[in-house]
């Protein structure tokens, strides 16, 4: 009888690869900021599927767009055109002030696409000698799990056992503009960076870092590639996190909330020059840009804007952050965040973030540790003040008790 949490867990453990260590809660329903488990318990989701459900679980308008499109046309491949792709491009470009879009599915695929684009741009336009292109990346980065991407990770576990890796990447400390300046050579084609490091522990770089990085890139004819898969689409209280420093990237990678969690949809946004290097046959994806994905993404963007989720992220984020900082706890090293992307870093002697997440689970609040000592709090952007107050009560109880 598969009615209890444990029986589902046993089944996963028996048949599934164990590349994750999830909290032991088996969810079967979601609505807005709330989710329910198979035993009927209700939880507030403070992870939002790593910011893929910024619009809240099962947003009714996105659900309707999905169902309607699923009954019309789902996939024709890019061998043919479809009536959702053009409008998706146009709406996304107008919203983000971009010139060109290249649609993919997962975030990692879109990052790979951006890497291919800047390399090709380097050879075709910048005239870097063949095979010599360099891309600068940051220590403590997270850009996905493909072989090329983990090859330039500084996290030993992400790389262990997967060598040999793709060459051509140089790692500099995050937030250190001088190190970036030093790393740039005539063969540097791109600088790939997260505006705030999410998986790295909600690390916010020093003020002015992205602005200086933008200047360094412009001075050296290097493409600035922002990975906004997590920071983008409202999470930090702006549509794109680059707006906090008033800059514009050359390439921006988005994903996750681009579909409101219904479907994997990602995209690379660029000025014409960079993505313009791709000619027919240079790159592709069977599912990228399919009509179902486009219809879902169009509605996911529409509700984000029409329902004022970005302003709500800014105001609710500021409120949440302020109130969290008031919670007295000798175990907390720092509470930091921007918008609704919040990290609570514990002191090493606190015994790790995992046990706090497990204690919060028992109180009906779902969140997840990132690295050893950081609890990430990132509810859907539709969260209300009363819901944050409820979350604060649970957090306060756990932090003052354990
Ligand atoms: C989640 C994430 C990715 C990878 O996206 P997937 O859809 O899991 O491949 C890349 N970069 C950042 C910043 C992310 O947060």
Residues 272, 328 within the same domain: no
The answer as to whether 224 is a domain residue is yes
Query: DSSP string spanning 218-269?
Result: HHTT-EEEEE-TTTTTTTTSSSSGGGGGT---SEEEE-GGGGTTSS--EEEE
Q: Read off the pLDDT of residues 320-349 as tens digits, 9 standing for 90 and up.
A: 999 999 998 889 999 999 999 999 999 999
Catalytic residues: 142, 227, 256
**The domain boundary residue, chosen from 273, 306, 339:** 306
**The domain boundary residue, chosen from 306, 325, 340:** 306
- Exposed / middle / buried, residue 290 (Cβ in 10 Å: 0-12, 13-18, 19+): buried
Residues 150, 212 within the same domain: yes
| Among the listed residues 384, 297, 291, the one whose alpha carbon sits nearest the alpha carbon of residue 340 | 384
Q: What is the pLDDT of residue 271?
A: 85
Q: What is the pLDDT of residue 138?
A: 98
Instruction: For the chain, give the mean pLDDT.
Output: 97
Q: Read off the pLDDT of residues 377-389 as tens digits, 9 standing for 90 and up.
A: 999 999 999 999 9
CATH number at residue 101: 3.40.640.10
Residues 94, 138 within the same domain: yes
- Exposed / middle / buried, residue 181 (Cβ in 10 Å: 0-12, 13-18, 19+): middle
Q: What is the pLDDT of residue 2?
A: 53
Q: What is the pLDDT of residue 63?
A: 98
Confidence band (pLDDT; 50, 70, 90) for 402? Answer: low
Q: Read off the pLDDT of residues 190-240 as tens digits, 9 standing for 90 and up.
A: 999 999 999 999 999 999 999 999 999 999 999 999 999 999 999 999 999
Residues 320, 195 within the same domain: no
Phi, psi of 260 (to 5 degrees): 60, 20
Averaged pLDDT for residues 40-44 = 97
- Exposed / middle / buried, residue 85 (Cβ in 10 Å: 0-12, 13-18, 19+): buried
Q: Is 255 close to ligand 1, i.e. is its CB under 6 Å away? A: yes
User: Does the predicted model carry a pTM greater than 0.85?
Assistant: yes
What separation in Å is there between the alpha carbon of 396 and the centre of ligand 1?
30
8 Å CB contact between 34 and 44: yes
Averaged pLDDT for residues 252-261 = 98
What separation in Å is there between the alpha carbon of 143 and the centre of ligand 1?
5
Q: Is 262 close to ligand 1, i.e. is its CB under 6 Å away? A: no
Phi-psi region of 23 (alpha: psi -120 to 50; beta: other; left: phi over 0): beta
The answer as to whether 144 is a domain residue is yes
Q: Read off the pLDDT of residues 163-199 as tens digits, 9 standing for 90 and up.
A: 999 999 999 999 999 999 999 999 999 999 999 999 9
The answer as to whether 345 is a domain residue is yes
Averaged pLDDT for residues 266-280 = 94
Q: Locate 296 and state its tokens.
A: 């879902």
Domain count, the chain: 2
Residues 116, 138 within the same domain: yes
Averaged pLDDT for residues 83-99 = 98
Residues 296, 314 within the same domain: no
Residues 299, 322 within the same domain: no
Q: Is 144 close to ligand 1, i.e. is its CB under 6 Å away? A: yes
Q: Is 51 close to ligand 1, i.e. is its CB under 6 Å away? A: no
The answer as to whether 201 is a domain residue is yes
- Report the distance separating Cα 168 and Cα 188, nearest Å: 9
Pocket test for ligand 1, best of 49, 146, 199, 259 (most atoms within 8 A of CB): 199
8 Å CB contact between 339 and 317: yes
8 Å CB contact between 394 and 365: yes
Q: Is 143 close to ligand 1, i.e. is its CB under 6 Å away? A: yes
Confidence band (pLDDT; 50, 70, 90) for 298? Answer: very high
Q: Is 142 close to ligand 1, i.e. is its CB under 6 Å away? A: yes
Smallest CA separation from ligand 1 atom 15, residue: 230
Reported as type and span, the H/E element at residue 14 is helix 5-15
Residues 114, 206 within the same domain: yes
8 Å CB contact between 62 and 303: yes
Pocket test for ligand 1, best of 256, 262, 263, 266 (most atoms within 8 A of CB): 256
The answer as to whether 371 is a domain residue is no
For 169, the 3-state DSSP assignment is strand
The answer as to whether 381 is a domain residue is no
Q: What is the pLDDT of residue 371?
A: 85
The answer as to whether 388 is a domain residue is no
User: Which numbered atom of ligand 1 lies nearest the CA of 194?
Assistant: 13
Q: Is 50 close to ligand 1, i.e. is its CB under 6 Å away? A: yes
Q: What is the pLDDT of residue 329?
A: 86
Averaged pLDDT for residues 25-43 = 97
What separation in Å is there between the alpha carbon of 363 and the centre of ligand 1?
29
Averaged pLDDT for residues 24-45 = 97
Radius of gyration of the chain measured on its C-alpha atoms: 21
8 Å CB contact between 112 and 150: no
Alpha-carbon distance values, 225 to 80, 111, 130, 191, 297 (Å)? 30, 9, 21, 6, 22
| Among the listed residues 133, 181, 174, 131, the one whose alpha carbon sits nearest the alpha carbon of residue 153 | 174
Averaged pLDDT for residues 288-313 = 98
Q: What is the pLDDT of residue 242?
A: 98
**The domain boundary residue, chosen from 254, 277, 306:** 306
The answer as to whether 16 is a domain residue is no
8 Å CB contact between 361 and 25: yes
Confidence band (pLDDT; 50, 70, 90) for 273? Answer: confident
Residues 270, 319 within the same domain: no
Residues 325, 178 within the same domain: no
Averaged pLDDT for residues 266-277 = 94
- Report the distance separating Cα 119 and Cα 187, nearest Å: 10
Residues 273, 342 within the same domain: no
What separation in Å is there between the alpha carbon of 125 and the centre of ligand 1?
28
Task: Supply the range of the domain harboring residue 317.
Answer: 310-350
Q: Is 228 close to ligand 1, i.e. is its CB under 6 Å away? A: no
Pocket test for ligand 1, best of 103, 138, 143, 231 (most atoms within 8 A of CB): 143
Q: What is the pLDDT of residue 132?
A: 98
What separation in Å is there between the alpha carbon of 255 and the centre of ligand 1?
7
What separation in Å is there between the alpha carbon of 199 and the centre of ligand 1?
9
Query: DSSP string spanning 118-155?
Result: HHHHIIIII-PPTT--EEEEETT----SSHHHHHT---
Residues 229, 318 within the same domain: no
């Amino acid at each position: 009888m598969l009615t209890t949490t444990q029986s589902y867990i046993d089944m996963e453990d028996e048949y599934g690869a164990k590349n994750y260590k999830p909290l032991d809660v088996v969810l079967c329903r979601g609505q807005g900021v709330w989710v329910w488990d198979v035993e009927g318990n209700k939880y507030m989701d403070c992870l939002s599927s790593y910011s893929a459900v910024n619009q809240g679980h099962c947003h009714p308008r996105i659900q309707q767009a999905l169902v309607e499109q699923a009954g019309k046309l789902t996939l024709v491949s890019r061998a043919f055109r479809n009536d959702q792709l053009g409008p998706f491009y146009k709406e996304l470009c107008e919203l983000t002030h971009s010139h060109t879009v290249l649609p993919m599915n997962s975030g990692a695929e879109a990052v790979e696409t951006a890497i291919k684009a800047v390399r090709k741009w380097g050879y075709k336009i910048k005239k870097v000698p063949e095979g010599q292109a360099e891309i600068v990346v940051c220590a403590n980065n997270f850009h996905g799990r493909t072989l090329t991407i983990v090859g330039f990770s500084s996290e030993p576990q992400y790389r262990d056992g997967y060598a040999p890796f793709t060459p051509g990447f140089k790692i500099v400390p995050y937030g250190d503009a001088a190190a970036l300046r030093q790393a740039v050579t005539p063969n540097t084609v791109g600088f790939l960076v997260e505006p705030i490091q999410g998986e790295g522990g909600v690390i916010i770089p020093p003020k002015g870092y992205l602005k200086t990085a933008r200047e360094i890139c412009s001075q050296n004819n290097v493409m600035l590639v922002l990975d906004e898969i997590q920071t983008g689409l409202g999470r930090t209280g702006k549509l794109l996190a680059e707006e906090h420093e008033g800059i514009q990237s050359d390439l921006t990678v988005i994903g996750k909330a681009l579909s409101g969690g219904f479907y994997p949809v990602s995209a690379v946004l660029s000025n014409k020059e960079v993505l313009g290097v791709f000619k027919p046959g240079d790159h592709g994806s069977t599912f990228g840009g399919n009509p179902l994905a486009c219809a879902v993404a169009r509605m996911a963007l529409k509700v984000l804007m029409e329902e004022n989720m970005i302003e709500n992220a800014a105001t609710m984020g500021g409120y949440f952050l302020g109130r969290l900082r008031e919670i007295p706890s000798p175990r907390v090293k720092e509470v930091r965040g921007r918008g609704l992307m919040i990290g609570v870093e514990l002191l090493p002697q606190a015994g790790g973030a995992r046990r706090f997440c497990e204690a919060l689970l028992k109180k009906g609040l779902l969140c997840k540790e990132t690295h050893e000592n950081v609890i990430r709090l990132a509810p859907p952007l539709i969260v209300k003040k009363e819901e944050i107050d409820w979350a604060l009560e649970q957090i306060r109880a756990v932090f003052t008790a354990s």
